[in-house]
Amino acid sequence: MTGTEPILEVSGLVKHYPLTRGILVKKQIGAVRAVDGVDFTLGRGETLGIVGESGCGKSTVARLLVSLEKPTAGAIRYRGEDITGLSPRALKAVRRNIQMVFQDPYTSLNPRMTVGDIIGEPYEIHPEAAPRGDRRRRVRDLLDVVGLNPEYINRYPHQFSGGQRQRIGIARGLALRPEIIVADEPVSALDVSVQAQVINLLAGLQEEFGLSYVFIAHDLSIVRHISDRVAVMYLGRIVEQGSHTEIYDHPTHPYTQALLSAVPVPDPEAREHRERIILGGDVPSPAHIPSGCRFRTRCWKAQERCVREVPLLAVPETLRTAGGPAAHDSACHFAENSLAGRELR
Ligand SMILES: Nc1ncnc2c1ncn2[C@@H]1O[C@H](COP(=O)(O)OP(=O)(O)OP(=O)(O)O)[C@@H](O)[C@H]1O
Ligand code: SF4
Ligand SMILES: [Mg+2]
């Protein structure tokens, strides 16, 4: 399902964490540039997949979207209104509509609370969402909606499997009937066999409740079937974004091409024909981001220009005239729908 009207518009989003030295007198000696200028939109009813390696800033973006943290700069517009400068009261009303599902269902559920109390907890924070007398019934309905037996309402998290616990986390995320769910690696901690079930559940819930999703993963294969659009992050920035077809079948940024080349391909013939790109070196620290293109220290196509000039996220000039699926946002001076890119299907 692809929405047209954006429900969320993110522009120039920045989150820097100060690096300090000294015990009594703290002196700022630098900054961890966890999120360093991110722009994207989320359409109503749409799923945007955000993908990137560990430490590239995905969870920081998630925390900013649900207002768990304040950005250093930039705007987050929900239904056209910037929510970053709202008063605590106005923000509380907005937060009802933008809920988060966390990565680790083992640590994100309080072990001393029953699932009924866990799922019903959002009603304590937003009592206006459900009259007290109706909450138990709602929690039972939510258990049913996520595929758990409503009779389990008095059980504790340790009595459930990982997949079931994530269903409890999802039920809690749905309690306030939000419009947007930010799911931060919701299946990464689960067995592969259970991952698809949880993704299918999320897809079904989207259909049923008209939800919009920001779905975060470290691997392009996880978001493949659920995303309408995909944004690839590297060191605090989006380096390529586009529709499902544009990213999976016509990647133009070397980083995306490398990530895709690592995705398992079930078809043996296709597997034989594709080029495997192994990225050299480590991801640089977000406290010391390379000049020019931040990917240049690991890019096999890097040239002089990449050291000096920051490539902007836009449709590259060379691909614009030809049009077609290769003409989408890519932050590379030498973006091309290369042969390697096409073979990565
Ligand atoms: N509160 C903080 N103070 C200082 N640095 C932080 C803080 N939170 C995150 N960082 C740093 O910001 C960078 C981005 O972290 P973030 O958790 O957003 O990455 P991520 O993409 O979610 O990684 P992962 O895949 O491991 O979950 C990392 O280098 C991290 O160490
Ligand atoms: S701008 Fe240069 S270093 Fe950056 S991805 Fe493109 S070719 Fe590689
Ligand atoms: Mg994370």
108 pLDDT band, cuts 50/70/90, is confident
For the sheet with 212-217, list strands across it. 98-101, 180-184, 212-217, 47-51, 229-234, 237-243, 329-330
Q: Measure CA of the first residue to CA of the last residue in the chain; give whole Å.
A: 23
Of 184, 202, 233, the last residue of a domain is 233
Give me ligand 2 centre to Cα 329, in Å: 14
Give the integer Cα–Cα distance in Å for 251 and 242.
9
Share of the chain above pLDDT 90, in %: 79
Residue 270: the pLDDT is 64
Atom of ligand 2 nearest to the CA of 253: 5
Q: Is residue 1 part of a domain?
A: no
Does residue 175 surpass a pLDDT of 60? yes
pLDDT in tens, 274-285: 677 888 788 999
Residue 342: the pLDDT is 43
The boundaries of the domain holding residue 284 are 239-343
Residues 180 and 325 in one domain: no
Give me ligand 2 centre to Cα 333, in Å: 6
pLDDT in tens, 113-159: 999 999 999 999 999 999 999 999 999 999 999 999 999 999 999 99
17 lines ligand 1 (CB under 6 A): yes
Average pLDDT, the chain: 91
> Which CATH number belongs to the domain containing residue 89 in this structure?
3.40.50.300
In testing the pocket of ligand 2, which one of 293, 319, 330 has its CB within 8 Å of the most ligand atoms?
Answer: 293
From atom 3 of ligand 1, which residue's Cα is the shortest distance away? 17
Q: Is residue 37 part of a domain?
A: yes
Residues 297 and 319 in one domain: yes
Atom of ligand 1 nearest to the CA of 103: 27
Residue with tokens 């009261």: 89
Range 225-240 average pLDDT: 97
Residues 260 and 216 in one domain: no
Residue 345: the pLDDT is 38
